[in-house]
Structure 1
Amino acid sequence: MGIKHSRRALKEAIQGYLFLLPTLFVLLTFIVGPIFYALFLAFHKVQLLGGQGFDFIGLRNFSRITVDQRAHIAIWNTLKYVVIVVPIQTILAMVLAAVLNAGVKGQKFFRIIYFLPTLTSSAVLTLIFMWMFNQSGLINEMLSSIGLPTYNWLGDPRVALNAIMGMNIWSTAPFYMIIYLAALQDIPDSLYEAAELDGANAFKKFMSITVPSLKPVTSFVIIMGLIGTFQLFDQSYIFSAGSGGPNNSTLTVVLLIYQYAFKNIGTMGYAAALAMTLAVIIMIATWLQRKFAQEESLN
Structure 2
Amino acid sequence: MATRKYSKRALGEAAQGYLFMSPTIFTLGLFLVAPILFAVFLAFHKVKLLGGMDFQYLGLDNFTRFFTDQRALIALKNTGFYVLIVVPVQTFLALLLAATLNAGLKGQRFFRIIYFLPTLTSSAVLTLIFMWMYNQNGLVNQILSMFGLPTYNWVGDPKVALIAIMIMNIWSTAPYFMVIYLAALQDISDQIYEAAEIDGANAIQKFWYITVPILKPVTSFVVIMGIIGTFQLFDQSYIFSGGSGGPNNSTLTVVLLIYQYAFKNLGTMGYAAALAFILAAIILIATLLQRKFSKEESLY
User: 8 Å contact 2:44–2:270 — kept in the other structure?
Assistant: yes
Alignment of 1:38-49 (within 5 A): 38-49=39-50
Partner Cα distance (2:84, 2:143) in 1: 31
Partner Cα distance (1:288, 1:137) in 2: 41
1:222, distance to aligned residue in structure 2 (A): 0.9
Residue 158 of structure 1 aligns to a residue whose secondary structure is coil
Partner Cα distance (1:187, 1:32) in 2: 41
1:52, distance to aligned residue in structure 2 (A): 4.9
Report the counterpart of residue 9 of structure 1 in structure 2. 10
Instruction: Report which stretch shifted further, 250-259 or 151-160.
Output: 151-160
Question: For 1:93-123, what per-residue CA distance to the aligned partner results, in whole angstroms no more than 9, with x for missing partners?
Answer: 1111111011011111110000000000011
Instruction: Report which stretch shifted further, 282-291 or 251-260.
Output: 282-291
Report the counterpart of residue 65 of structure 2 in structure 1. 64
Report the counterpart of residue 176 of structure 1 in structure 2. 177
Report the counterpart of residue 261 of structure 1 in structure 2. 262
Alignment of 1:149-160 (within 5 A): 150-160=151-161
Report the counterpart of residue 189 of structure 2 in structure 1. 188
Change (3 A) 1:145 1:214: closer
1:297, distance to aligned residue in structure 2 (A): 6.9
Report the counterpart of residue 93 of structure 2 in structure 1. 92
Question: For 1:115-172, what per-residue CA distance to the aligned partner results, in whole angstroms no more than 9, with x for missing partners?
Answer: 0000000111111110011123212344556777653221111110001001111000
User: 8 Å contact 2:130–2:168 — kept in the other structure?
Assistant: yes
Question: For 1:161-192, what per-residue CA distance to the aligned partner results, in whole angstroms no more than 9, with x for missing partners?
Answer: 00100111100000011011111122111000
Using structure 1 for the length normalisation, give the TM-score.
Answer: 0.95
Report the counterpart of residue 230 of structure 1 in structure 2. 231
Change (3 A) 1:147 1:111: closer
Report the counterpart of residue 292 of structure 2 in structure 1. 291
Contiguous gaps of at least 5 residues in structure 1: none
**Counterpart code for 1:138:** L
Residue 26 of structure 1 aligns to a residue whose secondary structure is helix
Change (3 A) 1:207 1:23: same
**Counterpart code for 2:140:** I
Partner Cα distance (2:195, 2:154) in 1: 51
Contiguous gaps of at least 5 residues in structure 2: none
1:33, distance to aligned residue in structure 2 (A): 1.3
Partner Cα distance (1:115, 1:55) in 2: 49
Instruction: Report which stretch shifted further, 2-11 or 221-230.
Output: 2-11
CA RMSD of aligned residues (A): 1.7
Partner Cα distance (1:142, 1:90) in 2: 26
Residue 137 of structure 2 aligns to a residue whose secondary structure is coil
User: 8 Å contact 2:215–2:298 — kept in the other structure?
Assistant: no
Residue 56 of structure 2 aligns to a residue whose secondary structure is strand
Using structure 2 for the length normalisation, give the TM-score.
Answer: 0.95
| Identical pairs, percent | 74
**Counterpart code for 2:26:** F
Partner Cα distance (1:257, 1:142) in 2: 37
Residue 66 of structure 1 aligns to a residue whose secondary structure is helix
